[in-house]
Chain A
Amino acid sequence: MEKLISNYSEQVTPQLKWVTDAQLEQIHYATLEVLERTGIVVKNKEALKLLKDAGCRVEGEHVWIQPWLVEECLRLAPKRISVANRLGERVMPLEKNRVYYGTGSDLPFTIDLETNERRTSTKQDVVDASRVVDALPNFDFLMSHAIASDTNPDVSDLHQFEAMTLNCSKPIIFTAHNAENTEAIIQMAAACVGGVEKLKANPYIILYSEPISPLVHTHDGVGKMYKCFEYNIPVVYTPGVLAGGTTPVTKAGCITLMNAEALAGVVIAQLKKKGAPIIIGGGATPMDMKTTTTLYGAPETYMNYGIMTQLAQFYGLPNFTEAGCVNAPVPDVQAGAEAAVTILMTQLEGCNLVHDVGYLEGGKTGYLPFLAICDELISMARYSGAGTRISRDHLAVDCIHEVGPGGNYMAHPHTFKYFREEIWSPRFFNRYHWEQWLGKDKETPMDKAVKEVKRILAEHQAAALPEGAAEEMQRIIRQREEEIRS
């Protein structure tokens, strides 16, 4: 056994902080000031009544929230949310500094794997993305990636959920049109795990709902959230913003406004049900002042996430951010750079749920092989985030002594013992010498990613559903269609 060292301290993983606790307090106070002074608009009647009953000043739909109520609700919100997969395994505890990656939802366009043409997304694209995410080792959760545009628009969210849960057993973050469709999706999920009680005990689905910046909480956005709380289903309630458009252009102002929207969400949630599982955050993207596009693959975005993640940790609440979502329209050198930097930063920042991985064109277009490339980037980021081991055996002085001056380490048992963990190996990136690369027909990482995606689509099968679950989901979709028709 190694002898103990007195006064020794270790940094096992790298530590990345953007601001101090004193600065976080300033953002928190600014947020309280916005909620107390400017207030919010609430278009959901139930939430409006709950806020009024809790003592808030209410004029029409305009609500002002006192700081004590915000603090009280922060105290009630759960600090840890356990999320399971479809098989009931509690694989995704949302705790401080645990980082999980997943796709985004609802891309209107897809670059076709066979034709390489950009076309409207279909339900089959959701099916394919689900199978790919199920198979890729570094993706932890699934969002629909594409829109099922070829299904009935009234129930396209139900079709997307069916496609996802049939083809992937990882945790799912779903989008829904309204509270009624949310109820239907919860019933579909219940069918996949053996009933509502089992789903409540081990939720494998999370709703993604949003306020609209600045400071508007909609009827459907809140209604969907409330429906989930009835079933203990966690809810991501986060705005998507354009700094300089829907929020102040300054990073601190953008964060303050989003935090006000998030904390208003926490109040609206806890007034409905004490301990309601809510996840805060927001899409902290600036507006490009030349083209007006949303800047996802930009430095401001991950800089904001650095602080927003610290804020969530300051409150002790799980948070939701994004990375690997790029402005490049095709998966080119720009896409690679944007994805790599944002994925690495979110890993080091310790964000909880990092979504939108693999989005192209600022969240309008998808291309499945880019998901595989992002999987590689996540692997690289996780490797870096795991830190550097400093132990007697890792310091390797015995090994250095044995090899001596002028020797080499290639055949030493120490190298054999450690090389796999001490040198990261890519699946897709090239490391050939030129001649070796010519011998591989100049195969690019994307060529390899395309091959891997095609292999997954040909071979991979997700874990099976319980008997009758697939039929029950179809029955629920038909029933919901009939309800809407009548």
Chain B
Amino acid sequence: MASIKDLTEFVIQADIEKVKETTAALLAAGEDPLKIINEGLIPGINEVGERFKEGNLFVPEMMMSAQAMKAGVDLAKEKIEGADIPNAGTIVIGTVAGDLHDIGKNLVSMMLDSSGFNVVDLGVDVPADKFIAAVKEHKPSIVGLSALLTTTMPAMKEVIDALKESNLRDQVKVVIGGAPVSQAYADEIGADGYAPDAALAVELCKKIA
């Protein structure tokens, strides 16, 4: 029978069927589901993240590995009762009001998700009050704001101001991104971080979560 160690390798290979088969077999043999997640599946996705960072893996391969990991986690979860599923932190993310562009934000969402974050994606054209409601509901450690248009960049500041007014600013870190956004702009509007691309966004979130 395949071992927990093999599971790691199947995640790296993005072999969804083998991850499912192996996870099911291990569970049937009485293996601890938390151990399957923590020692089998998560090390696989961590290794994929490393290889991606080094430039040895491409985005679609990472996405497929994430799907393989999730397929395993979903099976293991069924056997866990009451216990918290481990994750790297919760992030509420969205494209700010007036802006309908979501490819960059989606990439960041998927890559954070692949890296073990619990991602609450609010979609596009998200007004400040919706961000506030989501922060109250999901209690994230990070809020991610995206804008492609220079005209919608000011809406990022509006979200930060709204967080202050709702006395929530101290409870979350705010990170921003998008083509026209820069570190200087992040400093100007009082964001906690800026990342120029999706891979660096994941690193940033891991650092400040």
Contacts and interface: CB of A to CB of B under 8 A. Distances in A.
Chain B binds chain A: yes
Nearest to A147: B150
Nearest to A118: B182
B167 interface: no
Interface residues of A, number: 26
Contacts of A256: none
B182 A212 contact: no
Contacts of B100: 212, 216, 218
A106 B150 CA distance: 9
A7 to B, nearest CB: 55
Contacts of B60: 244, 249, 289
Interface string A284-305: 0001011111000000000000
A364 B103 CA distance: 17
Interface in B11-61: 52, 55, 58-60
Name the prevailing secondary structure of the B interface residues. Answer: helix
Among B55, B107, B153, B180, the most chain A Cβ lie within 10 Å of the Cβ of B180
Contacts of B104: 292
A93 interface: no
A292 B199 contact: yes
B203 interface: no
Nearest to A107: B180
B150 A292 contact: no
A20 to B, nearest CB: 31
Interface in A178-230: 212, 216, 218
14 contacts: A120-B182, A147-B180, A149-B150, A153-B153, A153-B154, A154-B151, A177-B151, A212-B101, A244-B60, A249-B60, A290-B59, A291-B197, A292-B104, A292-B198
Interface of B: 52, 55, 58-60, 100-101, 103-104, 107, 150-151, 153-154, 179-180, 182, 184, 197-199
Given A153-B153, A244-B59, A364-B179, 13 more contacts: A108-B150, A147-B150, A153-B150, A154-B151, A156-B150, A212-B101, A245-B107, A289-B60, A291-B197, A291-B199, A292-B107, A292-B198, A292-B199
Interface of A: 106, 108-109, 120, 147, 149, 153-154, 156, 177, 212, 216, 218, 242, 244-246, 249, 287, 289-293, 363-364
